[in-house]
Structure 1
Amino acid sequence: MLEFTVEDMSAEEVARMQAIYEPLAISVRELVDATIRSEVDAETVAAVKADIDAATARLRSKQIVGAFGVRRTPSGQSMSWGNAVIGLRNPIAPPLVIHRDDDGRRWCDFHLGAAYEGPPGHVHGGVSALVLDHVLGEAASPDTKPRFTGSITVRYLRACPLGPLHSEAQITRVDGVKTFVSGYISDADGITVEAEGVFITPRWLRDRLR
């Protein structure tokens, strides 16, 4: 994982960058949904494609090499803006906004639309696993120091419908460098998918915690 400190970046500058780039990701997210669901004529599709190609070329005129990584300000503020689940600059991300309770529970309410479909009208099983892997990982890292997925077991109780959903997770026990977590995704009628995971403290962090 690429992680580095962004020198001389204040909280105000981070907020300014967020205000610039987050609306772009939201617009592209809407574009993805519209692309899937549109029934406009071929001439309109061709014109829109030309517009998109031109916009893409403008954005590519200046860009970083490789992925966004995890950037941290000198104050420790995390910028996981390219993340596939929570990245505010990533149109693929729903994105999830993770909330933290004092008892260690991590939870979020989110919406999955047409871009995340597997079975007709329902969430792709791999997307459910992606969401749970992230939420469980957040729960496994209560001190904001990462624990990485060692294994995760996902049980699909019933088809998970597209639309508004809820997910939460909590640590069940800790055994040395292993943190055990359980969690689930639910809709208005109850749990659709549940998971248990083992998350590992990375070696570089173990050395710091000694």
Structure 2
Amino acid sequence: MFEYDKISADDYDRLRGRYEPLTDALRTLVDVGVHTDVDDATVREALVHLEAATALLQQRLREDRPVLRHADTGRPVTWGNPAVGLRNAISPPIVVEHDGDGRCWSEFTLGPVYEGPPGWVHGGVSALVLDQILGEVASDSLSKARFTGTISLRYVRGTPLGPLRAEAFVERTEGAKTFAKGYLMDADGVTVEAEGVFITPAWARDAG
């Protein structure tokens, strides 16, 4: 069972203001690292600066991994999540929207950092995105403890790099199991279909 510490809206905004620009800069650095074609001397010079930046950031590191929940919204604060984490530079990031009818969706862009075959999104990245958005809808916007039991994907066709949309909805609930479906799509339609079963753990069932 998770024990959540609450973080106030003011503290959340303060920390977001501090670390979001850093994450954006790191994300840009990752992208530049994929594309750069500078010479050996420039790479060595860049390494000096990167090592200096790493030393600065290492001056104070968290020893624990507190599980936080936003005091106003009740949502978990997923700083390090690789799909939506505000402090994780490998996340696209994806901002998940929630409709009144219980559906989730997100519109985002995946560039060459997420490439598998040339010009196409890596299949594992597609799975990451769909697992995240199915999990969001199955857990009522992360407000309930429901974890991925199984997820199956059907790759309809290649997913091109560029603007994309993901959608998800709950199909049905049977006891501790919630069945969700979702899609990844581009401007021409669906590229990946997903079905997932999300399980409410025993401790959450016992909690009522």
TM-score tier, shorter chain, comes to: over 0.9
Deviation at 1:167, TM superposition (A): 0.0
Residue 2 and residue 203 in structure 1: after superposition, are their counterparts in 2 closer, same or farther (change >3 A)? closer
Whether the 8 Å CA contact 1:69–1:82 is kept in 2: the answer is no
1:72 to 61, 69, 87: 69
Partner of 1:161: 160
Deviations 1:120-140 (A, max 9, x none): 111110110011011000010
The separation in 2 between residues aligned to 1:123 and 1:77, in whole angstroms, is: 29
The 8 Å contact of residues 2 and 69 in structure 1, kept in 2 or not, is answered as no
- Structure 2 counterpart of 1:193: 192
Change (3 A) 1:118 1:69: farther
Deviations, residues 165-188 of structure 1 (Å, cap 9, x unaligned):
100100001100000000010011
Deviation at 1:146, TM superposition (A): 2.6
Partner of 1:56 in structure 2?
54
In the other structure, the counterpart of 2:98 is: 100
Q: Which deviations, in whole Å up to 9, do the C-alpha atoms of 1:30-59 show, x marking residues without a partner?
A: 000000001112111111111011101111
Shift of residue 10, structure 1, vs aligned partner: 2.5
Match of residue 112, structure 1, among 87, 92, 110: 110
Higher mean alpha-carbon deviation, 186-195 vs 37-46, is at 37-46
- Identify which of 14, 17, 21 aligns with 1:16: 14
1:153 counterpart SS class: strand
Residue 5 of structure 2 corresponds to: 5
Normalising by structure 1, we get a TM-score of 0.93
C-alpha contact (below 8 Å) 1:70/1:81 kept by paired residues: no
Calculate percent identity across the aligned residue pairs: 52
Could you report, residue by residue, the CA deviation over 1:1-29 in whole angstroms, capped at 9, with x for unpaired residues? 975304xx431121011001011001000
- State the superposition RMSD in angstroms: 1.6
Q: 1:109 to 1:69 in 2, by over 3 A?
A: farther
For structure 1, the 5+ residue unaligned runs are none
The size of the alignment, in residue pairs, is 206
Amino acid at match of 2:189: G
> Which position in structure 2 is the counterpart of 1:88?
86
Following the alignment from structure 1 to structure 2, what is the Cα–Cα distance between the partners of residues 140 and 116?
Answer: 26
* Corresponding residue number in structure 2 for 1:147: 146
Residues in 2 aligned to 1:186 and 1:3: alpha-carbon distance in whole angstroms:
37
